[in-house]
Chain A
Amino acid sequence: MPRRTLMAPAIGALSLSIALAACGGSDEGTGEEADGEVTLTVATFNDFGYTDELFDRYEAEHPGVTIVHNRAATSNDARANFFSKLGSGGLADIEAVEVDWVPEIMEYSDLLADLSDPELEGRWLDWKVESATDADGRLIGYGTDVGPQSVCYRADLFAEAGLPTDREEVAALLEGDWDTYFEVGHTYVEATGNPWFDTGGGPYQAMVNQIAAAYEDPETNEIIVADNAEVRAAYDQALTEGETLSANLGQWGDDWRAGIANGAFATMLCPGWMLGVIEGNAADVEGWDIANVFPGGGGNWGGSYLTVPGSGANVEAAQDLAAWLTSPEAQLEAFANVGAFPSQPETYDSVELLESTNDYFNDAPIGEILIDRANAVTVAPYKGPNYFAINDALHQAITRVEDGSQSAEESWEQFLSDVETLN
């Protein structure tokens, strides 16, 4: 499920000592049984949209295969489990992983089975495959869903500011680079006095995802952020524009959730799965809509993969099942079930996807919009082992400026000193 974890888990520090002490002790619940009888375990989290009925169908098509599906409640639980068992054994035959963990997993890609298969070439979006291919060209995961980004906006607030409200006109208005997006923002702010977007961290994250190698050298993984003028420019622009345009509400905070409902900002950069978050936090609000446009081209946020740990007893059978589960047909079912947007371009021609709409977003043709947005993504930004630590530190730097505790320059300096401690 392409959901960035919303709530921090309360895992006691105790788990550290347990993890340190956890050596060996693998619990391989699965194994080869007599006469080709195989039990395959599949571990996912949140809701991937895989139903029991889907698994039953696979079992019927493949006599002798029994599937056990385990679902973790949150991706953080799944992440802790994945990393503490990756080396010692005891993972399921198929483990779902979120794109956010992939940079960390890449250091240990040899512990996962190579899933590359000439027959499956071209099944996924190129950049989806690229992100899961290690330096030796091994494919470690089959893509499930992606999070193509578009612009969500409040049509009612647009009307008050004298801006167009129709989603096609809005798309035409915002078509262009980031300057266009910010310029329209200034028009809105002048007309209403209210902020344009939720936090400078939103545009910053989108801009940095359009940079091929933002923080680390793709060859050596050396941290290069201090000398990367593009990153500094994105940081400066997000904060300078943010002075007038930002509501200064950090994402996932309580105030941010309240802001979605009470019109604290007029636009938000939103991947497909964010639609559910917006609806969940502002169920009674009428006016949220989605425009088929994204500043500076395309952008992706989130999405998952299915991996097969190399230490499993049934690697081959597991690979077959993973390939089946990530087939265009199965992913279309998952989309119908939970709205996970498929990473398989073949599905983009299907009537089912093309005709899907979203009531809450004013009956927006959501399938069509997200297909265009997914096709607009061209860059698969390089993310090395330190990507998330650096990115977190940078978002903290933005927050320090937005909450008024530091100037942009001071905050940048502190960010650089924080990054130095990562070595």
Chain B
Amino acid sequence: MGSAERHPTISEELPVTTIDRDTPVLSLRSRLGRWDAKLSPYLYVAPFFVLFALTGLFPLLYTAFVATQDWDLIRNSGTFVGLQNFADVLSHRQFWIALRNTFSIFALSTIPQLIAAVTIAALLDRNLRAKTFWRMGVLLPYVVAPVAVALIFSNLFGDDYGLINNTLRDLGLNPIGWHTEPLASHVAIATMVNFRWTGYNTLILLAAMQAVPRELYEAAAIDGAGRLRQFLTVTIPQLRATLVFVVITATIGGLQVFDEPRMFDSGGTGGPDQQWLTVTMYLYNLGWGQFDFGRAASVAWILFLLIVAFGLVNLAITSRIASTEGRRS
């Protein structure tokens, strides 16, 4: 925000040009013209804000209201209970397990996913034969519906007759308890998430890589840098802003992971010992399983605050990177 001190902003300039102390009475036409100039911009941006208010802000506030009620979905009414729902949820063992699982799945999916996406993007950035084919190929899993992905992977991760465990048994190894061990179930779910999102992130990173000026590579090559060295000291630093974007979207998506764990077994309630219960599934179970919308709404708000907190951490990192870049130039 340092720039605001140096340059006057538009809003500071406006009053100077529009004060009409000495001007004569304007005609209707020119008055309309001035309103047009003043109001039109707001009108142009209004659709977004109206839509946001209807589909974003209203549900958000309404959810906050419901969270303070012992809510009856069907009669659409409730009695005020203050923060009782929050207290209840925070005292539930299942909530904390769900939080643990969410972060575990998030870490297991985001980190390998980004490493893989950067690597694949670097490979695709080279001069390949049938470039478009490969580039579209990595996006293919993204097009597949998550439910279909879950069906395919459930064949892979079956406990007794799944492909992986069958192979392990044939090799004389112990089968893995995909649906009993929390960590194994997280790995399985993270695999599905990665299958779906790696290609998407790859394409975003690839686009950013192609924007890196080629002279930098030429200069690096003249200085004697090899492929790896070029990748580490030219490509990666140039990708920083894009990486931050990818990390933020992956965070938001990762903290809301729902489809994959819900489809991980036939019950869809997160496992007999809540091995893969995530926060959004916990919310769903409260809302649609027990019809306790008060508690479900309070979980929604806790999740919202968590994501905001993560967003702020990300923002801090972003601005730090931006300022280091500014210093360099």
Q: Is B293 an interface residue (CB 8 A)?
A: yes
**A20–B267 touching, CB < 8 Å:** no
* A392-415 Cβ-contact flags toward B at 8 Å (1 or 0): 100111111001111000000010
**B73–A84 touching, CB < 8 Å:** yes
16 A–B pairs (Cβ distance < 8 Å), ordered by A = A6-B266, A7-B266, A8-B268, A12-B259, A13-B256, A20-B297, A83-B74, A253-B179, A253-B266, A254-B154, A255-B158, A255-B161, A262-B161, A392-B269, A397-B272, A400-B272
**A255–B59 touching, CB < 8 Å:** no
One of B215-223, B227-235, B284-292 at the interface: B284-292
On A, residues with C-beta under 8 Å from B are 6-13, 16-21, 23, 80, 83-84, 86-88, 104, 107-108, 111, 249-255, 258-259, 262, 264, 386, 388-389, 392, 395-400, 403-406, 414, 417-418, 421-422
Considering the complex, give the chain A residue whose CB is closest to the CB of B77: A87
Q: Is B253 an interface residue (CB 8 A)?
A: no
**A403–B287 touching, CB < 8 Å:** no
CA separation between A359 and B133, bound complex, in Å?
Answer: 51
- A157 CB to nearest B CB, Å: 18
**B74–A13 touching, CB < 8 Å:** no
Q: Is B94 an interface residue (CB 8 A)?
A: yes
The residues in B between 25 and 70 inclusive whose CB is less than 8 angstroms from any CB of A are: 58-59, 62-63, 66
Considering the complex, give the chain A residue whose CB is closest to the CB of B283: A13
**A404–B158 touching, CB < 8 Å:** no
Q: Is B93 an interface residue (CB 8 A)?
A: yes
Q: Is B205 an interface residue (CB 8 A)?
A: no
Q: Is B141 an interface residue (CB 8 A)?
A: no
CA separation between A250 and B268, bound complex, in Å?
Answer: 13
**Contacting residues, chain B, for A392 (C-beta < 8 A):** 267, 269, 289
**A8–B273 touching, CB < 8 Å:** no
**A80–B180 touching, CB < 8 Å:** no
* B152-182 Cβ-contact flags toward A at 8 Å (1 or 0): 0011001111100000000000000101100
CA separation between A398 and B273, bound complex, in Å?
Answer: 10
The 4 closest A-B pairs by CB, nearest first: A8-B268, A399-B272, A252-B266, A87-B74
**Contacting residues, chain B, for A254 (C-beta < 8 A):** 154-155, 158, 161-162, 266
**Contacting residues, chain B, for A258 (C-beta < 8 A):** 158, 160-161
CA separation between A264 and B160, bound complex, in Å?
Answer: 11
* B233-262 Cβ-contact flags toward A at 8 Å (1 or 0): 000000000000000000000001011001
**B74–A16 touching, CB < 8 Å:** no
**Contacting residues, chain A, for B88 (C-beta < 8 A):** 421
Given A253-B266, A254-B154, A255-B158, answer yes or no on A19-B73 (Cβ-Cβ < 8 Å): yes
**Contacting residues, chain A, for B74 (C-beta < 8 A):** 83, 86-87, 107-108, 111
**A253–B66 touching, CB < 8 Å:** no
Given A83-B73, A400-B273, answer yes or no on A16-B158 (Cβ-Cβ < 8 Å): no
**B283–A16 touching, CB < 8 Å:** yes
Q: Is B189 an interface residue (CB 8 A)?
A: no
- B63 CB to nearest A CB, Å: 6
On B, residues with C-beta under 8 Å from A are 58-59, 62-63, 66, 72-76, 88, 92-94, 146-147, 150, 154-155, 158-162, 177, 179-180, 256, 258-259, 262-263, 265-269, 271-273, 280, 283-284, 287-291, 293, 296-297, 300
Interface centre among B75, B263, B283, B296, by most chain A C-beta atoms within 10 angstroms, is B75
Given A13-B283, A255-B161, A396-B273, answer yes or no on A8-B267 (Cβ-Cβ < 8 Å): yes
Given A87-B76, A258-B158, answer yes or no on A422-B262 (Cβ-Cβ < 8 Å): no
**B258–A421 touching, CB < 8 Å:** no
Checking B180, B265, B289 against A405 with a beta-carbon cut-off of 8 angstroms, the contacting residue is B180
Checking B59, B177, B262, B293 against A10 with a beta-carbon cut-off of 8 angstroms, the contacting residue is B262
- B278 CB to nearest A CB, Å: 10
Interface centre among B93, B267, B291, B300, by most chain A C-beta atoms within 10 angstroms, is B267
**Contacting residues, chain B, for A396 (C-beta < 8 A):** 269, 271-273
Given A111-B74, A254-B155, answer yes or no on A403-B94 (Cβ-Cβ < 8 Å): no
- B74 CB to nearest A CB, Å: 4
**B160–A10 touching, CB < 8 Å:** no
Given A83-B291, A84-B73, answer yes or no on A404-B59 (Cβ-Cβ < 8 Å): no
Considering the complex, give the chain A residue whose CB is closest to the CB of B287: A16
**A255–B93 touching, CB < 8 Å:** no
**Contacting residues, chain B, for A20 (C-beta < 8 A):** 59, 62-63, 66, 293, 297
**B263–A8 touching, CB < 8 Å:** yes
Considering the complex, give the chain A residue whose CB is closest to the CB of B297: A20
Considering the complex, give the chain B residue whose CB is closest to the CB of A8: B268
**Contacting residues, chain A, for B262 (C-beta < 8 A):** 8, 10
**Contacting residues, chain A, for B180 (C-beta < 8 A):** 403-405
Considering the complex, give the chain B residue whose CB is closest to the CB of A87: B74
CA separation between A405 and B272, bound complex, in Å?
Answer: 10
CA separation between A73 and B78, bound complex, in Å?
Answer: 32
CA separation between A405 and B273, bound complex, in Å?
Answer: 8
- A280 CB to nearest B CB, Å: 14
**A421–B94 touching, CB < 8 Å:** yes
CA separation between A249 and B265, bound complex, in Å?
Answer: 12
Considering the complex, give the chain A residue whose CB is closest to the CB of B181: A405
**Contacting residues, chain A, for B66 (C-beta < 8 A):** 20
CA separation between A21 and B60, bound complex, in Å?
Answer: 9
**Contacting residues, chain A, for B265 (C-beta < 8 A):** 8, 250, 253
CA separation between A294 and B123, bound complex, in Å?
Answer: 64
Considering the complex, give the chain A residue whose CB is closest to the CB of B266: A252
Considering the complex, give the chain A residue whose CB is closest to the CB of B147: A10
Given A10-B146, A254-B155, A255-B159, answer yes or no on A87-B73 (Cβ-Cβ < 8 Å): yes
**A406–B273 touching, CB < 8 Å:** yes
**B58–A21 touching, CB < 8 Å:** yes
Interface centre among A7, A8, A249, by most chain B C-beta atoms within 10 angstroms, is A8
CA separation between A417 and B94, bound complex, in Å?
Answer: 10
**Contacting residues, chain B, for A414 (C-beta < 8 A):** 273
CA separation between A399 and B269, bound complex, in Å?
Answer: 13
CA separation between A8 and B88, bound complex, in Å?
Answer: 27
Considering the complex, give the chain B residue whose CB is closest to the CB of A247: B160
CA separation between A404 and B180, bound complex, in Å?
Answer: 8
**Contacting residues, chain B, for A87 (C-beta < 8 A):** 72-76
Considering the complex, give the chain B residue whose CB is closest to the CB of A262: B161
Checking A9, A23, A422 against B290 with a beta-carbon cut-off of 8 angstroms, the contacting residue is A422
CA separation between A407 and B329, bound complex, in Å?
Answer: 64
**Contacting residues, chain B, for A397 (C-beta < 8 A):** 272
